[in-house]
């Protein structure tokens, strides 16, 4: 359902384990190019750490807990789900040194995040111990009155945010409603001053860490030139073509400005469209171009004379609420247009620019190939042209479980081995080993994945299979490599569903099954099943939490 959501392209994965890894990778990269705040003032400071814990308990992942899957819709979920499936990436970011965070638009269990003390104080400040600056999403304090209707005016909305949460900054760039409301509250009760000082300390601390006060903001001397006659950027003409010859439509809804910059290629002077990329490779005389925005018989006539026709289609850039949709299908006109081109006998290659996977309808059975360009941005046209026109490595887009897909070779796995089958202490580890053999005739790469299964759990319904570890290897024909993983209590434990009492992980004494490869079926509930060599069981027996001993905390 969350694919209908206008911010689906702003997350990296749906599995919390992989989001943890990608989050940490992004934060490491951002220490070299301080991505969020510093880019806005055109600075690069390799020593700064402006990592942003963005959309705290974010709108994107929680849309699967909403009725519609749309932006801003209310979410309903248990504390158990929140702590175990939604919190881990944010916890990883906080522990990695994030010094600023932004809350999100939604309400959770009927309470808007911007006024949710349980999440913004007890969980964020107490359980996570987070001391970074917290900023609202755009005008979200005002939305308590305008959208959520939990406040009657902006002063009441500001009071709710200040008294119920640890919000430090309100993102309202075009009015002073937040400032005026704070002044009114201070006039009513001087006790608000201590609350404001706490926020001021966090803001100043962040600015000090970033070195924002070390040197003046660059470019101040150019401010007076904006809007002058010699500001050629403002005087540039717009391009009216669609995807094949439009850089902005290759980019996302946050490129340059909110909702992107479609039809504004003058803002992306270094970009390359699919059309120009193909012309660079094949030469202008080998390529003919037709703007599908104005379809007529000319398109079919041109296609009938070409051996290959590249049709560039997709969805316009979007961000947040304007990007919500009710149907994942591509517009019917695009599908019919591609089918019409294919009916001429030309080999159609479809290039898609989109922020989420859309349903292609009858396109796949009518075309020669489909290339998913996603949001390839400025140089995406060059990449798509090279992929379509030049010889190169063939990559197959996975259609099934994570880690599966076509390969030019085969891999054989040995029986999985455990260092112990009885864990008597939470400090003990379980080492897992499996041999992987390239049993084919061509060198290849394989992602070896370890899943953990708890067949029975009294605390809550156990997940059928959870990815815990993975490692990618490269093997020559006939080569064997032993892949080792180590499981600890952190892997087989879950967060106890109590917020505001510290993040406590627990594991009740029970059996745990290790499974290698995503398609492996361990058939744990069938007592007569033949043992699968890629499955192995260990038993947790620490005595700390006997099976069924948990009291319901709710």
Domain count, the chain: 3
For residues 378 and 442, membership in a common domain is answered with no
At 335-352, the pLDDT tens digits run 998 999 999 999 999 999
Please give the Cα distance from 35 to 44 (Å, whole number): 9
Whether 298 is covered by a domain: the verdict is yes
Whether 154 is covered by a domain: the verdict is yes
At 182-229, the pLDDT tens digits run 999 999 999 999 999 999 999 999 988 888 877 666 566 666 655 555
pTM of the predicted model over 0.85? no
At 354-382, the pLDDT tens digits run 888 888 999 999 999 898 888 888 888 88
Whether 227 is covered by a domain: the verdict is no
Degrees (nearest 5) of the Cα angle 276, 277, 279? 60
For residues 128 and 167, membership in a common domain is answered with yes
For residues 164 and 257, membership in a common domain is answered with no
Contact (Cβ atoms closer than 8 angstroms) between residue 29 and residue 79: no
Whether 395 is covered by a domain: the verdict is no
Residues sharing a CB contact under 8 Å with residue 183, sequence separation 6 or more, in sequence order: none
Segments forming the whole domain that contains residue 275: 232-389
Whether 551 is covered by a domain: the verdict is no
For residues 61 and 147, membership in a common domain is answered with yes
Q: Which of 480, 481, 465 is nearest to 517 (CA)?
A: 465
For residues 355 and 238, membership in a common domain is answered with yes
For residues 203 and 278, membership in a common domain is answered with no
User: How far, CA to CA in Å, does 441 sit from each of 283, 407, 473, 477, 479?
Assistant: 39, 11, 16, 5, 10
Residue 450: give its domain's CATH number.
2.60.40.10
Residue 372: give its domain's CATH number.
3.40.50.1700
Whether 436 is covered by a domain: the verdict is yes
Long-range contacts of 15-22 (CB under 8 A, 24+ apart): 15/402, 15/467, 16/84, 16/85, 16/86, 16/88, 16/89, 17/88, 17/466, 17/467, 17/468, 18/402, 18/467, 19/88, 19/89, 20/88, 20/89, 20/92
For residues 73 and 172, membership in a common domain is answered with yes
Q: Residue 300: pLDDT above 80?
A: yes
Q: Residue 544: pLDDT above 80?
A: yes
**pLDDT given at position 43:** 28
At 7-47, the pLDDT tens digits run 555 555 555 566 555 555 544 444 333 333 223 332 233 33
**pLDDT given at position 215:** 67
Whether 216 is covered by a domain: the verdict is no
Please give the Cα distance from 245 to 249 (Å, whole number): 9
Whether 403 is covered by a domain: the verdict is no
At 56-88, the pLDDT tens digits run 555 455 555 555 566 667 888 889 988 988 888
**pLDDT given at position 255:** 82
């Amino acid at each position: 359902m969350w694919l209908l959501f206008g911010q689906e392209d702003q997350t990296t994965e749906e599995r919390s384990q992989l989001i943890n890894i990608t989050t940490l990778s992004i934060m490491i990269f951002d220490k070299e190019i301080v991505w969020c705040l510093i880019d806005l003032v055109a600075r690069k400071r390799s020593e700064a750490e402006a990592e942003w814990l963005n959309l705290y308990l974010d709108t994107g992942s929680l849309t699967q807990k909403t009725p519609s899957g749309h932006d801003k819709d209310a979410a309903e979920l248990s504390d158990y789900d929140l702590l175990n499936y939604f919190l881990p990436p944010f916890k990883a970011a906080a522990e990695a040194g994030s010094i600023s965070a932004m809350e999100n638009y939604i309400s959770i269990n009927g309470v808007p995040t911007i006024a949710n003390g349980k999440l913004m104080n007890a969980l964020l400040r107490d359980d996570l111990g987070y001391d970074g600056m917290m900023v609202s999403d755009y005008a979200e304090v005002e939305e308590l009155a305008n959208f959520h209707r939990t406040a009657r005016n902006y002063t009441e909305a500001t009071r709710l945010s200040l008294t119920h949460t640890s919000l430090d900054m309100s993102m309202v760039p075009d009015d002073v409603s937040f400032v005026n409301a704070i002044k009114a509250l201070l006039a009513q009760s001087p006790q608000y001053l201590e609350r404001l000082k706490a926020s001021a300390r966090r803001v100043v601390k962040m600015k000090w860490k970033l070195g924002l006060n070390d040197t003046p903001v660059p470019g101040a001397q150019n401010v007076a030139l904006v809007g002058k006659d010699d500001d050629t950027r403002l005087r540039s003409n717009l391009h009216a073509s669609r995807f094949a010859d439009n850089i902005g439509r290759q980019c996302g809804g946050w490129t340059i400005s909110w909702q992107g910059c479609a039809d504004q290629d003058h803002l992306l002077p270094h970009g390359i469209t699919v059309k120009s990329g193909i012309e660079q490779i094949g030469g202008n005389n080998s390529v003919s171009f037709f703007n599908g925005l104005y379809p007529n018989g000319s398109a079919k006539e041109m296609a009938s004379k070409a051996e290959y026709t590249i049709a560039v289609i997709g969805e316009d850039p979007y961000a947040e609420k304007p990007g919500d949709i009710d149907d994942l299908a591509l517009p019917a006109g695009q599908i019919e247009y591609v089918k019409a081109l294919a009916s001429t006998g030309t080999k159609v290659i479809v290039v898609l620019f989109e922020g989420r996977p859309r349903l292609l309808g009858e396109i796949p059975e009518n075309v020669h190939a489909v290339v998913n360009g996603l949001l390839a941005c400025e140089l995406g046209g060059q990449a798509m042209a090279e992929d379509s026109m030049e010889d190169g490595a063939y990559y197959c887009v996975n259609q099934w479980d994570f880690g599966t897909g076509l390969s030019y070779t085969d891999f054989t796995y040995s029986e999985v081995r455990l260092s112990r089958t009885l864990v008597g202490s939470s400090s003990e580890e379980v080492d897992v080993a499996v041999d992987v053999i390239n049993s084919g005739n061509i060198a290849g790469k394989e992602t070896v994945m370890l899943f953990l299964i708890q067949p029975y759990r009294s605390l809550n319904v156990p997940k059928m299979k959870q990815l815990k570890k993975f490692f990618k290897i490269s093997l020559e024909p006939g080569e064997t490599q032993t892949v080792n993983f180590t499981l600890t209590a952190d892997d087989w434990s879950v967060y106890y569903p109590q917020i505001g009492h510290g993040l406590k992980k627990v594991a009740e004494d029970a059996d745990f099954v290790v499974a290698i490869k995503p398609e492996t079926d361990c058939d744990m509930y069938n007592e007569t099943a033949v043992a699968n060599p890629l499955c192995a069981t260990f038993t947790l027996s620490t005595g700390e939490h006997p099976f069924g001993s948990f009291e319901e905390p709710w």
